[in-house]
Structure 1
Amino acid sequence: MTGTSETVRIVLLEDDAPLRERFAGILDAWGGGELVAACATLEQALTALDQHPVDLLMADLNLPDGHGIEAIRRLRQRHPDADAMVISVLADDETVLAAIEAGAVGYLLKDADSIELVEAIEELRAGRSPISSSIARILVRRMNKPADDATGPGLTPREMDILRGIAKGFTYTELAEWLGISRQTVPVHIKNIYRKLAANNRSEAVYEASKRGLLRL
């Protein structure tokens, strides 16, 4: 932890009320931290990050009004010296890597007990990265994967669907309706597409995808 405060100022983001209360209770009982805000939505967390000094964000990812990765990105903008730790049931490769690329330095699954949770915070304060064993296996597997060829990192089936919609000129709302997904998840997929294609906007993404043979225009 690079913050200067001895007491760790924490923003907790968890939409499940019983889990939020459980985590808040663990943090309240731990003498090393101060729970600045316990948030149920992405909007609440973004407001807390804008209004309070923060040393640690503990974030769920799957939220009713968006994705926890957006809170991690806001933390990086507002509090560049703070740490972000994910606590989630999501453990697929793309989600884990996206969270880490956004700035998360720890990743625990929600089965963590009170001792593990406090130990994870202490590890963060000591400059280490607490990661559940199953998450570590994902990272090791990805590190051992052969380097991408000239076509670059592959897109998931959902990302390919959205890419086709982008090529058709669909808006975020139209993409969500077309694919039957939440509108809030569309920007997350699009940012992943841009990252994988090294693109900065829709036109570049479509051009790069066409050049790589991913789209037939």
Structure 2
Amino acid sequence: MTNTTDDSGGQPAPPVRVLLLEDDTPLRERFARILGDWPGGELVAACATLSEALDRLHRQPVDLLMADLNLPDGHGIEAIQLLRRLYPEADAMVISALADDETVLGAIEAGAVGYLLKDADSLELVEAIQELRAGRSPISSSIARILVRRMGGSTPATPTPELTPRETEILRGIAKGFTYTELAEWLGISRHTVPVHIKNIYRKLAANNRSEAVYEASKRGLIKL
């Protein structure tokens, strides 16, 4: 992947200075590796707590804040609000397992211009950042559904599907961002059976991907994020 260029003579644009806020260590390390491999970006810091991120924002300008929301010492929305006050030209993108209406709308009202659920892979993540920096708003499909529903009215309620205990465990792992291999190791099952369970979950929840499955399960109270 090549760097973008600015508007002055085709010179390479400066790297996007990114502050990452994620309390889950494996996810933080995975996102940090993705950002470290991206030629167009510079990872300023990978913070595990809200207080650490707020301190960093006070001390160093950034172009992009990538923030989880449910943190051990507060809510990621506080970091988004501080970013908007200190660096009005910077962007904020949420990467979270939380997909309820109140959380999504609260983050957007605070100033987030992108909202992805945590199952984004490396290509999706970098493409989302590039879309955001180009003036667009990358949003997971299930998050977009919340916004559409709020603008156009609620959809009729549907019966809550019944998931097996194994399917519920897999959904919890999906919400944490686990890969098929990680799910298999976590649950002590064959990797080849994981896609079978996930296919059944998608069918029961009428979901097309991980993001939609986590959103539907959370909305219906099948898992707690």
Shorter-chain TM range is: 0.5 to 0.7
Find the counterpart in structure 2 of residue 126 from structure 1.
Answer: 134
Aligned counterpart, 2:173: none
**Superposition TM-score, scaled by structure 2 size:** 0.62
* 1:86 maps to 2:109: no
TM-score (norm 1): 0.65
**Residue of structure 2 equivalent to 1:51:** 59
Q: Which one of the candidate residues 143, 154, 162 is aligned to 1:135?
A: 143
Percent identity for Structure 1 against Structure 2: 78
Structure 1 unmatched runs, 5+: 147-217
Aligned to 1:191: none
Indicate the residue corresponding to 1:40 in structure 2. Answer: 48
Partner of 1:18: 26
1:143 offset after TM fit, Å?
A: 0.5
Instruction: Look up the match of 1:72.
Output: 80
Alignment of 1:53-202 (within 5 A): 53-145=61-153
Aligned-residue offset at 1:42:
0.2
Secondary structure at the residue paired with 1:43? helix
Query: What CA RMSD, in Å, does the superposition of the two structures yield over aligned residues?
Result: 1.5
Dislocated runs of 4+, deviation >6 Å = none
Separation in 2, partners of 1:29, 1:16 = 20
How many correspondences in the alignment?
144
Amino acid across the alignment from 1:28: G
Shift of 1:35: 0.4
Alpha-carbon offset, residue 6 of structure 1: 2.3
